[in-house]
Chain A
Amino acid sequence: MSVEVKLPTMLRAAADGAPSATVDGSTVGEVLRSLESAHPGLAGQLLTGDGSLHKFVNVYLNDDDVRYLDRLDTAVRAGDVVSILPAVAGGSL
């Protein structure tokens, strides 16, 4: 099924400048892999070489962080919105 994926500004250039993309998938992992297939410039920025979620990326399914659901195995339904956000961190160290 199709779900909308909202992209952070840093990833939009790799997706033709669009703020979101509509891709197919029945799990969050399938959605992210579909997104990488549709926009090869995103490859490696979301998923690591072993297929897990990159630690500097937060992925939300609607209002929930997928790390607290079933991670990449989390099921998605038609009408769900997947949001990708960069982890924003730093400090005085």
Chain B
Amino acid sequence: MSELARDDVASLVLTQSQLDEVVAACLRAVPDEGCGLVAGDPMTGVVRRVYPTRNAAGSSRVYTVDPLDHLRAERDAEASGSSVIGVFHSHTHTDPYPSPTDVDQAPDPTWHYVIVSLRLEAASLRSYRIAGGVVTEEAVVVTD
């Protein structure tokens, strides 16, 4: 039942300030790819907290969420009654669409995969579901 409900989630819902936090974390990481986790309600896709993390790969072309930062985010989310529901990272020179690496390495089909493109002057953000190698873009709903 819960799996069905999760699959029905077709959007990521975050506030403008949370969105700004995601973009700022990506900009701070330049020239490397920036990354982080988002926690919230897995049933509704509503984000409660953004956790910028270190990019353990230290690369402009790939990212690895620092595992200790991941552990801390999981603990903090759990303590506040939410869970990690997705990951964000930047593409510094390409469009915000999942690369073959993103698709191959997507760990959890219930997660939201947010990509921020810094290719143009204005950052652009998209969110996807990635399950069984299939990429589906979802709506990003920005609230006040």
- Chain A residues with CB below 8 A from B134, complex form: none
Q: How large is the interface on B (under 10, 10 to 19, 20 to 34, 35 or more residues)?
A: 35 or more
- Chain A residues with CB below 8 A from B93, complex form: 92
**A8–B108 touching, CB < 8 Å:** yes
A26 interface residue per 8 A CB criterion: no
Q: Which residue of B lies closest to A62 (CB)?
A: B71
Q: How large is the interface on A (under 10, 10 to 19, 20 to 34, 35 or more residues)?
A: 20 to 34
Among A19, A56, A88, A92, the residue within 8 A (CB) of B33 is A92
Chain A residues with CB under 8 Å of chain B are: 6, 8-10, 13, 17, 19, 56, 58, 60, 63, 65, 83, 85-93
> What are 9 contact pairs spanning A and B, CB under 8 A?
A9-B108, A60-B71, A63-B68, A63-B71, A65-B67, A88-B105, A89-B105, A90-B62, A90-B98
Chain B residues with CB under 8 Å of chain A are: 2-3, 33, 35, 37, 42, 57, 59, 61-65, 67-68, 70-71, 74, 78, 83-85, 87, 89, 91-94, 98-102, 105-111
